[in-house]
Amino acid sequence: MAKNTLSFTLRQEGVRETLAAFRGLPKEASAQIRKQAGEIAEDLAVLIRAAGVKEGAQAAIVAKTVKRGFDRVPVVSAGGTKKIGSRKVPAWKLLFGSEFGSNRFTQFPRLHTGHDGIWIFPSIEENRAMIARRWQTAADDTIRAFTSSGGE
């Protein structure tokens, strides 16, 4: 991912083993799971962006930087060096304040409350089971398609 971004990747039991199964398959199998993981990541990015818009002005500005990644597992990133807002500051400078609040800067509407996020991490947590289920189904279907006679 780009410099100064925060990336979120699927972490689930069995992912490494599933990805290891792709090593013995044709490159097309990896391309297919990348495509499906990208679709899942895009759906999650849409949910995160919507949560940012709902949260307020600062989060809404940062939400515009939320985008999907390209990997065999769903990846979403936020932040980066793109200049945003009326003061044209790099997105990464607003990212953590909009997600966790700030005790120092008044432009963030909430005080820093610790490790709990406000809009990004809650969106991911609320959708974790759905993301994992969709990815596992996509991976199983892809492996099945390329290990049966129909995929070759």
Average pLDDT of the residues in 36-48: 97
pLDDT category at 127 given cuts 50, 70, 90 is very high
List of residues 6+ apart from 87 with CB closer than 8 A:
none
Point out the least confidently predicted range of 10-14, 19-23, 135-139. 10-14
Domain carrying residue 64:
27-136
Q: pLDDT tens, 60-85?
A: 999 999 999 999 999 999 999 999 99
Domain count across the chain: 1
The answer as to whether 150 is a domain residue is no
When comparing pLDDT for 82 and 1, which is higher?
Answer: 82
The answer as to whether 54 is a domain residue is yes
The label of the residue with tokens 């966790």 reads 100
Are 42 and 110 within 8 A, CB to CB?
no
Q: For CA atoms 51, 107, 76, 133, give the dihedral sign.
A: negative
The answer as to whether 89 is a domain residue is yes
The answer as to whether 148 is a domain residue is no
- Count of all residues that appear for the chain in the document: 152
The answer as to whether 84 is a domain residue is yes
The answer as to whether 85 is a domain residue is yes
When comparing pLDDT for 152 and 132, which is higher?
Answer: 132
Give the predicted TM-score (pTM) of the model: 0.87
Spatial CA neighbour of 60 closest among 43, 93, 85: 85
The label of the residue with tokens 């909009």 reads 98
The answer as to whether 129 is a domain residue is yes
DSSP state of 87: T
User: Is the per-residue pLDDT at 112 higher than 70?
Assistant: no
Provide the pLDDT for residue 108.
Answer: 60
Helices (H) and strands (E) in the chain, counts: 5, 5
The answer as to whether 5 is a domain residue is no
**Using CA atoms, how far apart are residues 71 and 53, in angstroms rounded to an integer?**
26
